[in-house]
Structure 1
Amino acid sequence: MKILVVGTGVIGCIYGWQLSEAGHEVTHFVRKGKKLEIDKDGIIIHCLDARKQNRPIIETLYRPNTVEQIGNNGYDLIIVPTKANQLNSILPILAKTEKYTNILFLQNLWITHIRQIESAFQDSRIIYGQAHIAGGGKSGNKITCVIFGTKNSPTMLGKKDGTVSESVIQVEKVMRQANLNPQICKNIFAWLISHYAEANGLVAGVMEARTAQNYISNKEYIKHSIRLIREGFKVCTLLGIHAWKIYPQALYYVPTWCLIPALLKMYRTEETQLMIQGHIKHSPDEMKEMFYDVFETGKNLGLSMKNYKQMQKYIDTFVL
């Protein structure tokens, strides 16, 4: 398959690298002035691959094909793994591509972002997804990342209306060829919105703690995250999304005393620590915007957002 990946961020490079390894023709769309640099130096990928039994650390130099203009080049699939706050600049560019090319938005998305996407494209072109299988950070031309190896860490895929279209089936096949654990979700809209609230509660707790290591050293930070996640789920409920019906988000309704040990066990693993710390270093602006997306939506819907108000000072003063 001929695939265009927008950008060379963490998720874009992980997926571009893995899809290339699986034999697909992958090109990355980069900002003006970046092509020469990437073509010359490549991108160093330092990856803990937890899909394999011995969990190897892979160090490789990824040399992707790059373009600074998209044009009509007959791509079968365009993958958009950028931060959601970059949609304003990306959507007008993507609007110029062939109308038959499917676009996979592989991002953390809130309801406002989905409305923005739907105002730009026909629904037939749009596939939504989330790279739950991977994460990490980037410094210069080096990416430090993890690819998780459990069934509970998939590449989520789906159409907003729940249909399993031929385009979704084709993308699922491509992701499976690259061993990226695809999972077709017939309720992808609800999954994405509730996941956004969940992920926001986690990263806000880490921002309060200042580091991933501090976060797992004090149960109070975990408690604060749980409260934020549950308050975010109340926002979801008012949006018509019931998190208690969605896995794994439903697990946050387990009693707190039982939930904390399970979360600590998960957060203390090497791969989760790597992902969280990398995300903090790479995307603090995105994390702050995620916090305020949920916070402002909740207030507009009439909720007091007590826990968000208590957390606000830590978000506003967070620095690396």
Structure 2
Amino acid sequence: MRILMFGRGVIATIYGQAFQEAGHDVEFLVRPGRAAEYGESVQTDLIDTRRALRGQRTASTFKTRLRESVELENEFDLVVLSVGHHQLREAAAYLAPRVGAATVLVFGNVWDEPLAAVAPIPANQVIFGFPQAGGGFTDDGVLHGGLLRSVILGTTGASPSRRELTVRAAFQQAGLRIKEEADMRGWLWLHFASDAGMFSQALKSGGLANMIGDRRALREAFLTSRELLPVLKERGVDLRRHPEAMLPYRLPRLTGTAFALATLVLPIARASLAAHTDPNVAEPRAVLDDALRTSRQLNIATPRLEQSVR
């Protein structure tokens, strides 16, 4: 399959490598001037759980094919769009006249109505999913992080469409399992709320890496996220459809302790958080600002969130 990864960030790099190693023809679309900056290869140092639950550390260098523009329609079968939620509209506007018949997998945070966030890409070509990986680049250009054995993919009906089957097959060929989510809109917004809580606490802690093993910080993160649940309900999310995702909000003290222990015991959790060193990058700030903007528009009080962005 011909796959275009939009950008060469953390998620695009991790999954682009997995796709390439599975035999797919992978290219990375980068901004003008970035190809020379990035070079022809990238080093990764990952905790990979595809073969073992606790993960196997793999360090490797893989060749990347970078391009700075897309000129022709129908060059690719699949475009993986994994950018900050605040960059989705710009990315969609660029891709829409160039995407041809390709399937577009929106693979990351969304806070607007999902299809509106990526208009004018045709709705029947779009699939929403979420990665189960994370990490960050160090100053020497090495990507450190972790890769879980599954990904989240939204479903559109009882019988998967041809496009859904194609995307599933690409991930499965890369050794990844599929977790289906019927209410992808609600799931994405719940995850966004979770991120808002984590990022709000990261500002106080000096970064996500400093939250490793910190029960109090993780508990506060879940309490901040819980403030956004009324926002989600007001926006039409049926929280009863997501019992597993709701557990941390119902038991923040217990969940904070469990997550703190997980960051100490599980190599993949520790590696993913340890790779995040700067709490002031654009995406975390945009998550906090947009969550707060929506809560204000709906006149729903979020005092912890308000305090975190002052």
Q: Check whether TM > 0.5.
A: yes
* 1:107 alignment counterpart: 108
* 1:310 alignment counterpart: 307
* 1:180 aligns with one of 176, 201, 225: 176
Instruction: Kindly indicate whether residue 2 of structure 2 is the aligned counterpart of residue 2 of structure 1.
Output: yes
Letter in 2 for 1:46: D
* 2:237 aligns with one of 238, 241, 263: 241
Letter in 2 for 1:101: A
Q: Hey, what's the Cα distance between the residues in 1 that align with 2:279 and 2:7?
A: 14
Q: Is the 8 A contact 2:135 2:273 kept in 1?
A: yes
Letter in 2 for 1:182: I
Q: Hey, what's the Cα distance between the residues in 2 that align with 1:202 and 1:189?
A: 20
Task: List gaps (5 residues or longer) in structure 1.
Answer: 314-320
TM-score of the two chains, using structure 2 as the length reference? 0.89
Q: Hey, what's the Cα distance between the residues in 1 that align with 2:74 and 2:163?
A: 19
Shift of the alpha carbon at 1:113?
6.2
Flag as ranges the 4+ runs of structure 1 deviating above 4 A: 159-163
Q: After superposition, what is the alpha-carbon deviation per residue over 1:211-264, rounded to whole angstroms, capped at 9, x for unaligned?
A: 445424543322321211111122111111133431531212433443332222
Q: Is the 8 A contact 2:213 2:261 kept in 1?
A: no
Task: List gaps (5 residues or longer) in structure 2.
Answer: none
Question: 5 Å matches for 1:111-260?
Answer: 111=112, 114-117=115-118, 119-131=119-131, 133-139=132-138, 141-149=141-149, 154-159=150-155, 164-212=160-208, 214-260=210-256
Q: Hey, what's the Cα distance between the residues in 1 that align with 2:135 and 2:174?
A: 19
Q: Is the 8 A contact 2:202 2:279 kept in 1?
A: no
TM-score of the two chains, using structure 1 as the length reference? 0.87
Q: Hey, what's the Cα distance between the residues in 2 that align with 1:203 and 1:147?
A: 21
Q: Hey, what's the Cα distance between the residues in 2 that align with 1:303 and 1:61?
A: 48
**1:5–1:247 Cα change, 3 Å:** farther
Q: Hey, what's the Cα distance between the residues in 1 that align with 2:304 and 2:94?
A: 39
Q: Hey, what's the Cα distance between the residues in 1 that align with 2:57 and 2:175?
A: 17
Matched residue SS, 1:240: coil
* 2:291 alignment counterpart: 294
More divergent stretch after superposition (227-236 vs 260-269): 260-269
More divergent stretch after superposition (69-78 vs 31-40): 31-40
Taking only aligned residues, the RMSD between alpha carbons, in angstroms, comes to: 2.3
Matched residue SS, 2:227: helix
What is the percent sequence identity of the aligned residues?
Answer: 21
Q: After superposition, what is the alpha-carbon deviation per residue over 1:38-86, rounded to whole angstroms, capped at 9, x for unaligned?
A: 444x111111213333733212112112221212253111111122222
Q: Hey, what's the Cα distance between the residues in 1 that align with 2:157 and 2:237?
A: 14
Q: Hey, what's the Cα distance between the residues in 2 that align with 1:258 and 1:92?
A: 44
Letter in 1 for 2:290: D
Q: Hey, what's the Cα distance between the residues in 1 that align with 2:213 and 2:112?
A: 33
**1:167–1:283 Cα change, 3 Å:** farther
More divergent stretch after superposition (244-253 vs 5-14): 244-253
Shift of the alpha carbon at 1:169?
1.5
Letter in 2 for 1:87: L
